[in-house]
Each structure stands twice: as structure tokens, then as C-alpha cells.
Amino acid sequence: MLEAKQRVFGGNCSLGNVRTEHIKRLAKELIRRFPDKFSNDFKSNKQAVSMLVQGATPKVRNRVAGYITHVFAGTQTISSDESMEEGE
């Protein structure tokens, strides 16, 4: 079975996470409205989402917090790359 997947996908490829438009839209709206409440720490983002979004199921809360963590981790990497370039 693994060999068949490797042939179809071209070797050891890693498939990305699939997030629905609802999750992305909710996460982007929360980041836009409350940018200081989030960071690249999943646990703190999960608590912030549960405080800000009333009635969200645990599955939705975790997915939104995970996407926010993903977004903030990407911006932190870009920021650190820019600061390294400025230091040269």
C-alpha cells in the first residue's frame, strides 16, 4: 500500500493540512480584531479562541487555534529572516 502511494505522489511527499474556508475566515477575523491576543503558542491561542468565540465546538476551536498558530509561526519566521538581513 505504501509503495502505491509513493508511486502516485512521487516518493516521500508530505501532504498539507486541509482547512475549510469557514475556519480560515474565522481565524483571520479574530487576528484582525484581536492581534495582541495571539502568538505562536497553540495552548494560549486555544484559550483565547475559547474566550472570544462563544459556542464553538472543541473541534472548531482547535482548528481555528491551529491555523492562527500556523499564521503566527510563519510571520515570526519572516520577521527573524528580515532582522538577520538587517544585521549584515
Give the pLDDT confidence of 4-23 residue by residue, as tens digits. Answer: 544 555 555 566 677 789 99
Task: Decide if 5 is inside a domain.
Answer: no
Q: What is the CATH number of the domain that holds 53?
A: 1.10.60.20
Q: How does pLDDT run across 21-36, given as a tens digit for each residue?
A: 999 999 999 999 999 9
| Residue 67 scores a pLDDT above 80 | yes
Averaged pLDDT of the chain: 80
Task: Decide if 26 is inside a domain.
Answer: yes
Task: Decide if 25 is inside a domain.
Answer: yes
- How far apart CA 7 and CA 80 sit, in angstroms, is 37
According to DSSP H, which parts of 12-57 are helical? 21-33, 42-52
Contacts by 53-61 with C-beta closer than 8 Å and gap 24+?
Answer: 53/26, 60/23, 60/26
- Number of domains the chain contains: 1
Task: Decide if 61 is inside a domain.
Answer: yes
Task: Decide if 74 is inside a domain.
Answer: yes
Mean predicted confidence (pLDDT) in 59-76: 90
Task: Decide if 12 is inside a domain.
Answer: no
Q: Does this model's pTM top 0.75?
A: no
Between helices 21-33 and 58-87, what is the axis angle to 10°?
A: 60
| Grid coordinates given for 49 | 479562541
- How far apart CA 38 and CA 30 sit, in angstroms, is 9
Return the percentage of the chain with pLDDT > 90, whole number.
56
Q: Per-residue confidence at 76, pLDDT binned at 50, 70, 90? A: low
- Find the domain containing 30 and state its range: 21-87
> By three-state DSSP, how is residue 75 classified?
helix
